Amino acid sequence: MTKLKLSYFDAPVSRGEECRLALHVAGLAFEDERLSRDAWNARKASAPFGALPILWVEGKGEIAQSNAILNYLGHTQGLLPKDPFEAARHDALLNAVEDLRNTLRPINRLTDAEAKKAARIDFAKGYMQEWGAQIERQIGPGPFAGGAQIGVADLKIFVAVGTFIAGGIDHIPADVFKAFPKLTALHDAVKAHPKVAEWRQKHR
């Protein structure tokens, strides 16, 4: 069996966690390398793009960038549709999650507490509602983006929206996506998936 190693920070969040979930849902054994900040800082200069996560594949090398990792796993492990057009639609969902994260990042970096609070309130009422509506339109009968079968797009959406739904960000209400029943149903379906539940129970 080909050896695999996924490197990310020691936290069950963001880009690393969605890749861990994809590996586990696919039934692939892998080394789950969890780096401290100091360990990462010592290695950062040699990383492909100076960022995590990184997937090492025996005999091939490294893949960096979470969406590239998810696409590789999706195509090789049946977690993306075989039809090229449908696969591209799922790829668009991966990119849409990065749009959400990239829009939030400068808000999170604000140092003034009141300015950060105001920006997050505006973000929740404005951009997040627009984003939620866009994702809602891309989800079919469900429960997952592609129908009955879970895929990498579902895992990435689950990790991204799960932080908000859990009330994990100050000044963004846990019901921020209440207007989007298909999106919240997708989140709940991923959470209830046996392999996802197994991973979360073991690693939380």
CATH number (domain holding residue 65): 3.40.30.10
Both structure tokens of 65: 């960038």
Q: Are residues 58 and 158 in the same domain?
A: no
- 94/187 same-domain check: yes
Q: What is the DSSP letter of 182?
A: H
Q: 35 pairs with which residues across the strands? A: 9
Q: Do 146 and 86 meet the contact criterion of CB atoms below 8 Å apart?
A: yes
pLDDT at 117: 97
* pLDDT value, residue 1: 72
- The pLDDT score that the predictor gives to residue 203 is 86
CA–centroid distance for 186 within its chain: 13
Q: 188 and 101 in one domain?
A: yes
Confidence (pLDDT) at 12: 87
- 69, 16 in Cβ contact below 8 A? no
Is residue 47 located within the same domain as residue 108?
A: no
Reported for 189-195, long-range contacts at CB under 8 A and 24+ positions apart, including other chains, are 189/142, 189/143, 189/144, 189/150, 189/154, 190/144, 190/150, 190/154, 190/155, 190/157, 190/158, 191/158, 191/162, 193/25, 193/150, 195/21, 195/24, 195/25, 195/27
Give whole-number Cα distances, 139 to 6, 25, 146, 181, 183, in Å. 29, 21, 7, 10, 7
Helices (H), 26-170: 37-43, 66-77, 84-108, 113-125, 127-138, 152-165
Q: What is residue 63's three-state secondary structure?
A: strand
> Rounded to whole angstroms, how far apart are CA atoms 41 and 44?
5
CATH code of residue 96: 1.20.1050.10
**Count of structural domains, the chain:** 2
Q: Say yes or no: 73 and 93 in one domain.
A: no
Which pLDDT does position 116 carry in this prediction? 97
Domain with 152, as residue range(s), is 84-193
Q: Is the pTM of this model over 0.85?
A: yes
Residues 94 and 178 in one domain: yes
- CA distances 168 to 34, 102, 126, 129, 173, Å, are 22, 17, 19, 18, 9
In three-state secondary structure terms, 43 is helix
Same domain for 180 and 136 = yes
pLDDT, tens digit only, all 204 positions of the chain: 799 999 999 998 899 999 999 999 999 999 999 999 999 999 999 999 999 999 999 999 999 999 999 999 999 999 999 999 999 999 999 999 999 999 999 999 999 999 999 999 999 999 999 999 999 999 999 899 999 999 999 999 999 999 999 999 999 999 999 999 999 999 999 999 999 999 999 887
Residues 90 and 189 in one domain: yes
